[in-house]
Structure 1
């Protein structure tokens, strides 16, 4: 007897269902029945039928698969959002660093400009002071030129009296002593040291340096100097040399290391001005 096998079949679903459902199996329950009938060698053999049940994709499994797909999509979206935020943060940090660098460069440029402006202002001030000093020296020279025709007081040491005579006698007695920078006697002097020592003999304590001694009394004109007055060279307050006027158009001073304490006529080295202390 010929072998026959009745087979129940189902058509495959169309591809309009979600891919995740297709991968899980055919939607709905599928029952396939395979009947196999054969002859066992006799005409009286009965047909044998065998049924195979295929797994069924339940609604819960479909829902789970769909939820898993949605979760995967949500994770991907979250990762994309984080990537965008990180990019924005990196950009913000980069922009902040660039802005800070520009601000620093600007601050350094402003500081440099201020320093240069300050330096220029200081240089201008020094130039102005130098110009004023030159003008002052020029004025002094003009005054000296006009007073050079005047005859200084010819009062001699013999006519000086009191403290002035004592000061004149002291410096004249020191003629021939050595000039030593910083010395105030008794046998060596520098210019201001000699003047200070002379005035100390009459109880007057003068400042130590010539700059201060040139402003220690009343300024007098060179045409009106008297014995005992202090003569100075340079501007009052910034004099670089001092000596004592002794009368008869002469002065005594600690001149330099070569000459020591000497007496000279005023014409030897015209002083700038004079100060009267007594």
Structure 2
């Protein structure tokens, strides 16, 4: 036995020809397939690139944003304007309320002042009448004889006779006769009988002659009630402490003593 007979050979055993041929055919087919795929592959796998132009939105977007901003600003302006109008309306309402309250206050103050003035005038008139009554009462003893013994003469007698003749006639505001009179209408008509043309109203008649004291009256003197120049009633003194006057609708023309309604003063025309 040789020394090398047990040394294993490092060569691989040769494969059988049919298996080698088969493997070579398969390998060739695979390589052919890869070669064909390689040749056709790039043409099929290459991506198709196409440029698509998108519409430009910048202009439209800017317009929309601007419109939205303008609308927002307009709403803010409208709200501010409304707030200003509401504030002005509130201020005007407050001013109107204040003005109305001030007007009411002034009207009430004026009304109170007028009432106070009227009360003062009435009080003064009552005081004047009371003083006249006192004066007449105090002087009645000294002048009674003079009053009773006085007799009208001349023009004064005609005036006294006329007014006495009208006693019982009706009182009518604005009346000038012949059967109805007011106070100044009767006095004017009486003096017209002696050619004296007196003013028509009592205010003017109370200053038509010379002022005389109530303690020194003569028949035919004009008596007045109220102030000289602002008298509200007149009559004629007929002597004996009496007067004739157209008093009011309920009494008509009457003959009364001075104490019935003491006059404020007297004037002498004749």
Bigger Rg over Cα: 2
Same fold (TM over 0.5): yes
Q: Structure 1 length normalisation: TM-score?
A: 0.68
- 1:178 maps to 2:188: no
- What is the number of residues matched between the two proteins? 231
Q: Secondary structure at the match of 2:223?
A: strand
> 1:200–1:206: 8 Å Cα contact kept in structure 2?
yes
Q: Which residue of 1 aligns with 2:124?
A: 136
Shift of 1:142: 4.0
Q: Which residue of 2 aligns with 1:254?
A: 246
Which structure shows the higher helix fraction? 2
Map 1:46-61 → 2, pairs under 5 A = 54-56=49-51, 61=53
- 1:168 maps to 2:160: yes
Task: Summarize the Cα distance change of 1:212–1:78 in structure 2 as closer, same or farther, 3 Å threshold.
Answer: same
Task: Summarize the Cα distance change of 1:261–1:92 in structure 2 as closer, same or farther, 3 Å threshold.
Answer: closer
Match of 1:204 among 196, 199, 208: 196
Match of 1:34 among 44, 68, 71: 44
Q: Which consecutive residues of structure 1, in runs of 5 or more, have no partner in the other structure?
A: 9-32, 36-50
Tell me the distance in 2 between the aligned counterparts of 1:237 and 1:7. 140
Tell me the distance in 1 between the aligned counterparts of 2:69 and 2:253. 98
Match of 1:150 among 135, 139, 155: 139
What RMSD in Å do the two structures reach over aligned CA positions? 3.2
Q: Structure 2 length normalisation: TM-score?
A: 0.70
Tell me the distance in 1 between the aligned counterparts of 2:242 and 2:251. 16
Question: Deviations for 1:233-266, whole angstroms, at most 9, x for unmatched residues?
Answer: 3454554442211122222233455655443332
Task: Summarize the Cα distance change of 1:80–1:269 in structure 2 as closer, same or farther, 3 Å threshold.
Answer: closer
Q: Which residue of 1 aligns with 2:109?
A: 121
> 1:137–1:235: 8 Å Cα contact kept in structure 2?
no
Tell me the distance in 1 between the aligned counterparts of 2:119 and 2:243. 32
Tell me the distance in 1 between the aligned counterparts of 2:263 and 2:226. 8
> 2:157–2:219: 8 Å Cα contact kept in structure 1?
yes
Task: Summarize the Cα distance change of 1:145–1:127 in structure 2 as closer, same or farther, 3 Å threshold.
Answer: same
Q: Which residue of 2 aligns with 1:23?
A: none
Higher relative contact order, structure no. (Cα contacts within 8 Å, ≥ 6 residues apart): 2
Question: Deviations for 1:7-33, whole angstroms, at most 9, x for unmatched residues?
Answer: 44xxxxxxxxxxxxxxxxxxxxxxxx2
